[in-house]
Chains A and B, each alone.
Chain A
Amino acid sequence: MKARVTVTLKNGVLDPQGKAIEGALKSLGVDGIASVRQGKVFDIEVNTADKAKAEAALKAASEKLLANTVIENFKVEVL
C-alpha cells in the first residue's frame, strides 16, 4: 500500500525558509499569496495490507524519526 506522511511546523515556530519563499513569490508578482510555511512530505510504500497495522507503523516512524515533535506536527495517510 502507498502511504504519505506530512510533517509541518507547529504554529508559532518561526519559519525563516517559508518567509524567504513568501518574499520570493511576492517579488515574482504572484498575486493572492498571504503567507507560506514550509513542510516535508514522505511518500512511503508499506508492506502490509492491514490499514491499522500500516497506520501504527507510520505513526511509529513519524514519532521516532520523521518528525521532531518539539517543533513539528505530522499527519499519517494510507492512500
Chain B
Amino acid sequence: MHAAVITFPGSNREGDVARALTRAGAKVSAAWHADYDLPAGTDLVVLPGGFSYGDYLRCGAIAGRAHIMEAVRKHAAKGGLVLGICNGFQILCESGLLPGILTRNAELKFICKMQHLKVERTDTPFTRGYARGQAIEVCIAHGEGNYICDDETLKRLEGEDRVAFRYCDASGVVTAEANPNGSLNGIAGIYSDKRNVLGMMPHPENLIESLTGGTDGLGMFKGLAA
C-alpha cells in the first residue's frame, strides 16, 4: 500500500495521518497542493485535516480547486482509494468528489472531544478492520461538521448504503443526543458511489496508541494497509 498525503496551505494533520499509515505498514509519500501529478504508484490519496486557506470563503472551497485535485479526480475515477479526514472531507465535498456540504455546527461552537462512531459496513478497504455495527471511539475537532445535502441525495446515500459512520453513543446506538453537530441522520462519514472515496469528519489518525487515548483508529489504517 502506497499512500500519498497531500499538504495544502493550512493543513495541519498531515504528519499525524502519515504516522498512522506508517505504523500500519503503509509506504507514505508527501504530495503538494500545487503539484499536477500524484507520486507514481499511489494506491491511496489522503487529504488530511486542518484549515486549508484559513477556511476562507467556505471550508475546503479553495483547496477543492487546487491543481492536485484534478489528479485526485482522475485517480478516483480509475477506482483508486481516496480518504478525506475533517478538512479533507470538506475539500472532497467542495471538489464534487462527494455530494453535500459541511456547514457550521448547529450549536455554532467548535467541538473538540472524544466521540463514538457506529461502523455501518465492513466490506470496504477503509473499514475491513472493524466489525459491523461496532462503536469505535475516536475524536472530533471541527467547527463546520454539520453534514447536509438535498432530500434526493440523502435518499440515494441511505438507499445505496453509502453512510460509512454515524455518531452514536458508547453502546453503538445512534441518537439525537449523540449527534454533536446537527448532521443529517447522524452522518459522520460517507462513501462515493463506488465506495473508493471516503470522507469523514472524525480523526481516526489520532487514536492509534493507548498512550494518547486509545487505539480504535488503528483499524482503519491497518485495513487500508492490509
Stretch in contact with the other chain, from B38-46, B74-82, B97-105, B170-178: B97-105
8 Å CB contacts to A: which residues of B55-93? 57-58, 61-62, 65
Chain A contact patch, size range: 10 to 19
- Nearest B residue to A69 via CB reads B101
Q: Which residues of B contact A17 (CB under 8 A)?
A: 104, 108
8 Å CB contacts to B: which residues of A28-53? none
Q: Which residues of B contact A70 (CB under 8 A)?
A: 99-101, 148-150
With known contacts A65-B61, A68-B101, A14–B108 Cβ distance under 8 A: no
A57 within 8 A of partner (CB): no
The A interface, classified by DSSP as helix, strand, loop or mixed, is helix
Contact A14 B149 (CB under 8 A): no
Complex formed: what's the CA distance from A16 to B181 in Å? 11
A20 within 8 A of partner (CB): yes
Contact A65 B148 (CB under 8 A): no
Complex formed: what's the CA distance from A65 to B53 in Å? 14
Contact A14 B57 (CB under 8 A): no
Contact residue among B62, B65, B94, B182 (Cβ-Cβ distance under 8 Å from A14): B182
With known contacts A64-B65, A68-B101, A13–B148 Cβ distance under 8 A: yes
Complex formed: what's the CA distance from A66 to B62 in Å? 10
Bitwise interface map of A from 3 to 16 toward B, beta carbon under 8 Å scored 1, else 0: 00000000001101
8 Å CB contacts to A: which residues of B132-154? 146, 148-150
Q: Which residues of A contact B58 (CB under 8 A)?
A: 68
Complex formed: what's the CA distance from A68 to B94 in Å? 8
Complex formed: what's the CA distance from A10 to B94 in Å? 17
B106 within 8 A of partner (CB): yes
Q: Which residues of B contact A65 (CB under 8 A)?
A: 57, 61-62, 65
CB of A69 to closest CB in B, whole Å = 10
Complex formed: what's the CA distance from A17 to B58 in Å? 14
Bitwise interface map of A from 51 to 76 toward B, beta carbon under 8 Å scored 1, else 0: 00000000000001110101100000
Q: Which residues of A contact B106 (CB under 8 A)?
A: 14, 16
CB of B143 to closest CB in A, whole Å = 11
CB of A42 to closest CB in B, whole Å = 10
With known contacts A70-B149, A70-B150, A20–B101 Cβ distance under 8 A: no
Q: Which residues of B contact A71 (CB under 8 A)?
A: 101, 103, 148
Chain A residues within 8 Å of B, Cβ to Cβ: 13-14, 16-17, 20, 64-66, 68, 70-71
Q: List 26 A-B contacts (CB under 8 A).
A: A13-B103, A13-B148, A14-B103, A14-B106, A14-B146, A14-B148, A14-B182, A16-B104, A16-B108, A17-B108, A20-B108, A64-B65, A65-B57, A65-B61, A65-B62, A65-B65, A68-B61, A68-B101, A70-B99, A70-B100, A70-B101, A70-B148, A70-B149, A70-B150, A71-B101, A71-B148
